[in-house]
Structures are given as structure tokens and as C-alpha cells.
A = this chain, B = another copy of it.
Amino acid sequence: MTTTIENSPLFRVANPRSIAFFGASKNHSAMGSMLMSSTMEAGFEGPIYPVHPRDEEILGLQGYRSVDDLPEIPDLAVIVLPQRIVAETLEACGKKGIRHVIIVSGGFREVGGDGIAAEEQVAGIAKRYGMTVVGPNCLGVANPYTKICTTPAPVEGDPGFIGLASQSGSFIVQMYNYLARNHIGFSTAFSVGNQMDIDLVDCMEYLAACPHTKVIALYVEGITRGQAFIETARRIVPHKPIVALYVGGSETGKRAAFSHTGTMSGPDHVYDAVFRQSGVIRARSITEMFDACWLLGSMPRPGGNRVAILSHSGGPGATAADICGREGLELPSFAEETLEKLAPYIPNTGNANNPVDLTFTRDIRDFFLKIPQILLDDAKIDILLIYNFMPVTMMKRRMRAIGIAEEDIDKTLDEMVRATGEIARELRKNYDKPVVAFSFRSLEEPINKVFIENDVPMFPNPERVARALKSFVDYYRNRERFPSL
């Protein structure tokens, strides 16, 4: 187990001071050029050395004819060359003294036949020189903190707290926008490809030691070192949650995984057992994995699984209650004192039981601040779930009705949004209990976005939030089985 991040074989992969690129060229649409572009666009501050037999200038940088011509021994080499010249290039890197390599090139074990022998040859060279190799058949690493990104698309959004390790490289790329949109962001992402040397377990160890990482997400097509996986996870879980998506469990998933990274998958129940023994939370989809990570990385530890639901409307309140129940969450009745405190805020068409259903809101501060405070003050409530429904169309109409001039409506709307954001911040600051929300309207509407910006996770439907809450609560329950070492 890595005790400090510097001891991890991945440290100089994720935090290189200098990088050589093999496969970047004058041809901007070559894969190697794209990966180098992404690192340049990420703002990498150290020297980048494109190595190319002919091109003297590559994307504005000086090209080097061979690895021998490099002015220093770079911390990291990224190889994006045709399979047939990977071995000789790796050999040259080894001779030069390079000790960390990402092999992006495919055509190895995942294609079978000669590919298997080719991978063994490459593994032999790496071993001879004591090199750490990520891949082959991978996309390498993205670390927004050290501004490296060896994926074809550049990173998006701000650095965040989710550490990723994935057997799919493109899967990491697909997530950039998804995470950025939700203002989540990641800390470091590894694409391990065929796992010839570095595997998911090594990545877990690195991410466990990474100070920016609050929660670890794994995309798994097949685990090769089962025992090491379990032991490592059990040591990490008391300190940091791990959420895994395993896709090899169905027959169709198994076939797709095999032709993707040459991984032999096992049946679902075996992986269920592995994850259970390790305290790893299993997600059923990528969306579910990141939803769970969002709560685990940003919310305080809940006292238990007791949820209060606050809604303006019966239907969404009832469906949220139903789905929370199905996910094993409790919706307790409120304490007498809570009911008394709620009474003045509930119109006679409304309902003060759990879910609290206002039917309509006279004052947004009642709905977003005062009632939430009453609910969070109830010792029987561990988590608050708010259903947000504020159509811009209705808000504007109400403003017109109370006589706000047409030219002031947008400004008034902005002020309301800002005020709602301040309320959300206040709730999060003053209570050590998780507060989450959902809405059926676009999450890109300002009144929804402002919650996310103020650290109240907002989901597009009740089933996603209920499922995420279940994973969130399960993690803390599991953790009790693994006493911290």
C-alpha cells in the first residue's frame, strides 16, 4: 500500500515535470498530435518534446529526431506510434533512462494472435529497464492540477474531487463535459487499457494517497488481481469511498468488454461478492457512479437513512417518496415539535407530513430557508431532499402581477436567483446534514444551476437522487465493517 503519493509508480505519470511525445507530427489530425495538443491546451508548464524522424517543428514546438537528441531525460514518454515500432521505441526510451511511459498504441493483446506476443515483448523490455508502463491500448492520464492531458479531447471545467481509473479511455473523455456541467470535476483520471503493467489496483493506491481526491470511481471490465483488489480496497474504504461500475456481467457486456480490452469478464455475482467484501459501492451505470461520487465527495456524513422530502406539489412528492422507499431509505414522521413549527408555513391546501407538500409558495424564503431549517433541526431527520419547481414563465408572470416594470423583470429574476443561491449556501453552512434536490426542468436554468453552484447537488429526477442517496448511505454503513487501520 502506498503511504505517500510520491512512492506510487504513477507519481511521475500524473505529475511529470517534462514529457516526450512519440507520434505527434505536422499532421494535426494524427492521434499523437491530438494528445499533445490536449496537454498544451491544458496549460502544461514544463517542457514538451515531440520526437519525430523528419518534422522539425510540431504544433509550434521544436521537433527532435530521436530520443537520443533530447536535452534531458523526460519524466514521462507518451508513445502513440504504429504497433510494429512500439517495442524499438520503448527500448530507446529505456536506454535514454526514461522510467515512466504511456503506450497509447493498440494492436496488442486485445486483438489476439500476434498481438499477444507483441505485448509480451514490450512487457519484457519494460521489465528489463524497470519502467512503469500505462497501457498499451489506453489514453493515459489527465490531471487538471498538474495540467497534463493525454486524451484526444481537452479537459473541460474546473479541477475537482473525483479520482477515476478506467479500462476505457474514451469513457474518461466522455465524462469531462458531464462532470463540468454539474460543477463536479475530477482530480486525476487514469486510462489503464490492457493493464500490462499498471492496473486498476495501482491506480486505486495512487488515488487513495492523492490529496485532491475525495472519492474514487472505477470503470471495470474485468479485475485481474482479485486478491490485491480486495485487500487494497479494504484498506482504502475506511478513509475514502470507492464506487465501481462493472460492465462485464451480462452476456452482451462480456463480449463487448473482451473485444475492447481483451479482458475476460466474470459473472455478475462474483463481482458482487468482490465488491461486497471490499466495501466498494457498486453502481449500475456511469450516471449512477458519478451521482454517487457527487454526494460522497461533497456531502457531510449522514446520521442515517432518514429523509425529509419538501415539495410544492403532490405528484413529484409522492413519486420521490415511493422511490426513496424502494431504495431502502426511510421517510419518518416528524417530531411533534417539528409539526408545530411547520404549521404556520403550510397553506390549508398543503400537507405537513413527510413529504411536506406546500402546494404553492407565498414566499420563497419560507420554502427554501425557513421550512428546510425546521426540517433539518428535527433530530429524526438525517437528509433533506428538496423538489425545486420554479418555472421562469410563472415567476415572470407573478412579477408583472405585483407591478414590476417590464424592463426590470430580468434584473429582478437575477436577484431572486442570487437570493436563492445565498439561501442554499446558508443551509449548507449551518447544518452538518446533507441537502440535495431535484427538478424536472432543465438543470441549465439559472434557478436550478444556482443550487449546484452553491454545493447543493441537483438531479433531473427523483430516481437518480434516491439511488445516489442509497449509495451514499450504504457507503457509511459498509465502512463500519472495515475498521480503519
Contacts and interface: CB of A to CB of B under 8 A. Distances in A.
A252 B441 contact: no
A391 B286 contact: no
Contact of A29 (B33, B245, B249, B398): B398
A73 interface: no
Given A28-B398, A29-B401, A37-B397, A174 B315 contact: yes
Interface in A453-471: 460-463
Interface string A327-361: 00011000000000000000011010101010110
Contact of A256 (B154, B245, B355, B398): B355
Among A28, A255, A322, residue most surrounded by chain B Cβ atoms (within 10 Å): A322
Contact of A177 (B28, B177, B398, B442): B442
Nearest to A324: B252
A162 to B, nearest CB: 14
A292 to B, nearest CB: 14
A284 interface: yes
A169 to B, nearest CB: 7
Interface in A173-191: 173-178, 181
Given A28-B401, A355-B256, A178 B440 contact: yes
A227 interface: no
A285 interface: yes
A433 B232 CA distance: 48
A458 B322 CA distance: 27
Interface string A362-405: 00000000000000000000000000010101100110111000
Nearest to A443: B442
Contacts of A260: 314-315, 317-318, 351, 357
A168 B394 contact: no
Contact of A287 (B152, B315, B463): B463
B440 A286 contact: yes
Tell me which of A175, A248, A316 has the highest count of chain B C-beta atoms within 10 A of its own C-beta: A316
Interface string A253-265: 1011101110000
A440 B174 contact: yes
Interface in A136-171: 152-154, 156, 166-171
B442 A285 contact: no
B360 A247 contact: no
B252 A284 contact: no
B444 A284 contact: no
Interface residues of A, number: 88
A394 B256 contact: no
B398 A321 contact: no
Contacts of A287: 460-461, 463
A251 interface: yes
A282 interface: no
Contacts of A28: 397-398, 400-402
A360 B169 CA distance: 12
A106 interface: yes
Contacts of A400: 28
Contact of A313 (B41, B171, B317, B463): B171
Interface string A394-423: 100110111000000000000000000000
A176 to B, nearest CB: 8
Contacts of A284: 463
A322 B391 contact: no
Contacts of A317: 256, 260
A247 B322 contact: yes
Given A107-B349, A251-B325, A440-B174, A315 B463 contact: no
A319 B440 contact: no
Contacts of A353: 255, 259
A362 to B, nearest CB: 9
A205 interface: no
A171 B348 CA distance: 20
A322 B219 contact: no
10 contacts: A34-B394, A106-B359, A178-B441, A247-B321, A253-B321, A253-B322, A253-B326, A256-B314, A285-B463, A286-B319
Given A154-B397, A285-B461, A286-B462, 17 more contacts: A29-B398, A29-B402, A33-B401, A37-B397, A107-B349, A168-B315, A169-B314, A170-B313, A171-B319, A247-B321, A250-B322, A252-B324, A252-B325, A252-B331, A256-B318, A259-B353, A285-B463
